[in-house]
Copies of this chain bind each other. A is one copy, B any other.
């Protein structure tokens, strides 16, 4: 899109912090780039960059403009995808911010399934915590977020939500492994493997423990859910995870037992996008597939 090149240039200058560096990325001379920036500011009616001795920095007007540029580009991508869809083609790229729990089974399965039907759609998956996921949407770095217990939800428009009880994860040989449900106090008798405090499961567990006047003292605290599972699998410890991150068939050596909702209420897994956005066709259809999969 030749007529939008100036936007690329502005972003390049913003990224690199100087015209001369940005000129290399843009395949243009610094002088030409400089004049295009100046011409744009002239038309725009206001400076967009602060001129510092060591380079350029966006001023407040520039920050506003940058947001417009990103919005504009997103919407153009949406138009392209809808136009492609008119002719039956489905192309595009879907950027997803998700909680760790979605990584081992759920998202790989859903993405494979989707790409089996539409091989020209590509994906980016970024792991983001409950706060970063929403920030990703605001910065247009993700189209969709699939997050357990997101933090603010102000710019987050919910497409689908599903309840997820908290499950205890342990070795199949564990004394508690044959129970149908567990009380939280049962678990506290054993070594605990807990996710770090920024994770939704941990927040729910901490709250529940506080109601029992207990404090959780994990034998192992980690920011890796893989670590939680594997440590629990090989010892006497008990880990915690939500059902979407578990797959009983794949791990006959492990047992997954729900914690009674009387103790730990469980939480919601939310699928959503930036408030007010119209998603590209590929992202929208993928979201619909995910919603269906979460229903089942």
Contacts and interface: CB of A to CB of B under 8 A. Distances in A.
A143 to B, nearest CB: 15
A44 B1 CA distance: 7
Interface size range of chain A in the complex: 20 to 34
Interface string A25-40: 0000000000000011
Nearest to A65: B79
Interface stretch (A70-78, A217-225, A244-252): A70-78
Copies in the complex: 2
A80 interface: yes
Identify the interface centre among A1, A5, A277: most chain B CB within 10 Å of its CB. Answer: A1
Given A275-B276, A276-B277, A43 B79 contact: no
A83 B3 contact: no
B275 A45 contact: no
A277 B275 CA distance: 10
Nearest to A7: B3
B1 A43 contact: yes
A71 B68 CA distance: 11
A44 B65 CA distance: 23
A84 to B, nearest CB: 8
A219 to B, nearest CB: 48
B71 A86 contact: no
Contacts of A275: 276
A65 B60 CA distance: 30
Given A72-B75, A276-B276, A64 B43 contact: no
A61 B83 contact: yes
Given A4-B3, A45-B80, A80-B45, A86 B61 contact: yes
A182 B39 CA distance: 67
Nearest to A278: B276
A79 B43 CA distance: 14
Interface in A43-78: 43-46, 60-61, 64-65, 67-68, 71-72, 75-76, 78
Nearest to A277: B276
Nearest to A36: B3
22 contacts: A1-B44, A2-B39, A3-B5, A3-B40, A44-B80, A46-B83, A61-B86, A64-B82, A64-B83, A65-B79, A67-B79, A68-B75, A68-B76, A68-B78, A68-B79, A71-B75, A72-B72, A72-B75, A275-B276, A276-B276, A276-B277, A276-B278
Given A61-B86, A71-B75, 15 more contacts: A1-B44, A2-B39, A3-B5, A3-B6, A3-B40, A45-B80, A45-B83, A46-B83, A61-B83, A64-B83, A65-B79, A68-B75, A68-B78, A72-B75, A275-B276
